[in-house]
Structure 1
Amino acid sequence: MMFNTDMKEIAQIRLENARSLAKQAGGTTPFAIKVDREPTQMSRVMGSNPTKNIGSKMARHIESCFGKPSGWLDYDHDSGARDARASYDANTSPAAQPLRYHRYPVVSEVQAGRFAECIVPYPAGMEERHESTDYEAKGSAFWLEVTGDSMTAPAGVRPSIPEGTLVLVDTGVEAAPGKLVVAQLDESNEATFKKLIVDGGQRYLKPLNPAYPLIPINGNCRILGVAVEAKTRL
């Protein structure tokens, strides 16, 4: 198949997109920290005089770290390239990209309760960390990092939410039985992440790890929100 000779090479597209992300992050060093690489390594692939190209494996890693969908770095976001993209073969063109991304704060187990009450625990714009997603929340939303292994299911069982996973919690989604929810028990000032179930008319918070007991709900807790997305970095 013939391509427009003016079309940018994939290496140039990745370089321009990576530099754009670095600018958003505050420079090459913050960018390198976010993608867990040495700044000198990043300078070699995206500095003023790069000596290496950004390979496919690195491109997918960068996308994951910045909450971008797979293939985002390979996509020429310059509006002037739209006509050229129309001539791509279906097997080689990048997948259609979401029109809008949403950024939600990453909060601690203590801050989660205050977010569910729509009381921001720190001034707007001063949140320590955000993560992006194409999911548009129905209510206030936040990312919560899973701690402990109570939601790690036995091998081969799904879902399994290991420690370190970020779960996106939407306070506007109904907490129906079978949903994974974030709740706050009366005797604790921290949130807990469990599966909501009903057995014999009694509601429980159920860990996915069978080594942990069921927690009966009898008016002793409030549901903060429902987990709608999870992301794990290797």
Structure 2
Amino acid sequence: MTDTTYAHKARVEALRTLVLEYGSQAKFARKFGLDASYISQILSGHRSFGEKSARNMEKKLGIPLGALDGRLLANEIKDSNIEPAYVPHTTRSAPVVSWVQAGQWAEAIDLYSAGEGESQEETPTNAGPHAFWLRVKGDSMTAPAGLSVPEGYLIMVDPDSLPENGSLVVAKLDSEDEATFKKLVFDGPNRYLKPLNTAYDTIKINGNCRIVGTVKEIRFRP
């Protein structure tokens, strides 16, 4: 009997998102040495996709353990600032805002800290008081292997957490109207915003950029 729990549905939708990035189930299966019929059975609901199967799949895909459950586990992500994305027992709400609002967050804190925004998302109480959520758009942070944050995922941004080399950050470039989501890289005196998708260019920053906040958590929401 197939598993009909929310966790199972979330895993299936996360897998479906990854498969769509490769255009077809066959291409996806060939890329990672998987059985195409096995993938088809999972996505069609004819085969259960339990926790053990998800962990095995993540190892084959080269993504962090827990990613298919909609969470990233800190001890599985090397050189990353991402913390576990499960929702602890003690939570509060933080707003889900637009990318334009994120770029203006320093001025908008008073407006949104009271609970306003497009919607609300449960947030760990140990997050900074000005934390907020963004829904990822575009594929600049989608990587073929390793840490990948596809379009549609939610990221929690903490303006009160100082970024380090390798941190995932939300930044506002002087030349853009809205914020951008990238990996912050230090190389000697130079600073860069690096996409996880190698098809996109790395951006050198030299006073033309303001770091809005550090990304502390990633969640998959179908």
Higher relative contact order (CA 8 A, sep 6+): 2
Identity %: 51
Aligned to 2:157: 169
Of 106, 120, 127, the match for 1:130 = 120
Contact 1:186 1:220 in 2 (8 A): yes
Q: Which amino acid aligns with 2:172?
A: Q
Deviations 1:106-152 (A, max 9, x none): 00000112323453446944433001133521241100111110000
**Distance 1:135-1:206 versus aligned 2 partners, 3 A rule:** farther
1:144 equivalenced with 2:134 (yes/no): yes
Q: Is the 8 A contact 1:116 1:140 kept in 2?
A: no
Letter in 2 for 1:107: V
What code does the residue aligned with 1:151 have?
M
Partners of 1:138 and 1:172 within 8 A in 2: yes
Name 2:196's counterpart in structure 1. Answer: 208
The runs of at least 4 consecutive aligned structure 1 residues that moved more than 2 Å come to 55-64, 113-128, 133-136
CA contact (8 A) 1:150 1:207 kept: yes
Instruction: Give CA-to-partner distance per residue, 1:30-81, whole Å, 9 cap, x none.
Output: xxxxxxxxxxxxxxxxxxxxxxxxx9733547999xxxxxxxxxxxxxxxxx
Q: TM-score, normalised by structure 1?
A: 0.56
Q: Relative to 1, partners in 2 of residues 1:121 and 1:62: Cα closer, same or farther, differing over 3 Å?
A: farther
The answer to whether 1:191 aligns with 2:164 is: no
Provide the aligned C-alpha RMSD in A. Answer: 2.7
Contact 1:143 1:168 in 2 (8 A): yes
Which of 93, 96, 102 is equivalent to 1:112? 102
> Is the contact made by 2:128 and 2:161 (CA closer than 8 Å) also made in structure 1?
yes
Distance in 1 between residues matched to 2:115 and 2:166, nearest whole Å:
35
SS in 2 for 1:196: strand
CA contact (8 A) 2:96 2:121 kept: yes
TM-score, scaled relative to structure 2? 0.58
Whether the 8 Å contact between 1:205 and 1:217 is mirrored in structure 2 is: yes
Q: Which runs of 5+ in 2 are unaligned?
A: 12-86
- Count of paired positions: 146
Q: Distance between the aligned counterparts of 2:168 and 2:6, measured in 1?
A: 31
Compute the displacement of 1:175 (Å): 1.2
Q: Structure 1 stretches of 5 or more lacking a match? A: 1-54, 65-96
